[in-house]
Structure 1
Amino acid sequence: MDDLVQAMGGTGISKSQVSRLCEEIDERVDAFLTRPIEGEWPYLWIDATYLKVRQGGRIVSAAVTIAVGVNTDGRREVLGVSIGASEAEPFWTEFLRDLVRRGLGGVKLVISDAHEGIRAATARVLSTT
């Protein structure tokens, strides 16, 4: 991190400064991921991609999911992001339930790659296909 700061023209950064910055970033990310979802969101795009992540000292493949909604005013917004072991139905179901708990409503159309887990979860949680 110190090399990065110096490359950007800074004079260096201590380990405690890095820790404070990471803590602040974590708080902001958590606030973003748990914020209330207000209004109607008739269109919802959901998908996942796989990335390599470090878990318990090992490098493993993890599904990173994202939900992007379009509200009734036509505004597009990232509504949720999550990381899981796979795109299985239980993971998608919990991801969508979390969005609903935060206020997601009015979904009329879900756009996805028709993964079986997505199809089953959207039918169960959002009553859409």
Structure 2
Amino acid sequence: MMAEPPQLYMPLSTTGSSLTNVVIGPMLAQPEFLQTQHIHMRITSHSGSKNSQVGQAAFSLFDAAAGSLTEFDVVVEDNGIPAGFNLRGEVLVAYTKFVPEKDFPMAAESFDFVRSSARGLLSSRNRPRGLQERGSN
């Protein structure tokens, strides 16, 4: 959807916490499409003379696509190995306007198919390791 992912730098406190709001958009996306997407984050250390990637984390937008505040708690991994810390936060997808179904190229039946496919693909058993949120087995 984007030529390049947004870059965001957040300094962490000595306790490892940070408070920030990230706004990505505007974009034209229906909730049914967002249910199939995830947010992928790269965690980088900016200490010393050069930047180094500490790890990566990803979480699904399946629950947040409904438009309600959704909490996430994901393990940060480096090459598939836990990096020793979690990334916690909340995500909220805010819709400003909806395209009527009659103007959207997919029929209502197709939306139902996408929704049911997304549920099957993103069940805890089928999620890629980086998408498994803490507490869901």
**TM-score for the superposition, normalised by structure 1:** 0.30
Bigger radius of gyration: 1
**TM-score for the superposition, normalised by structure 2:** 0.29
Higher relative contact order at CA 8 Å, sep ≥6: structure 1 or structure 2? 1
Structure having the higher helix fraction is 1
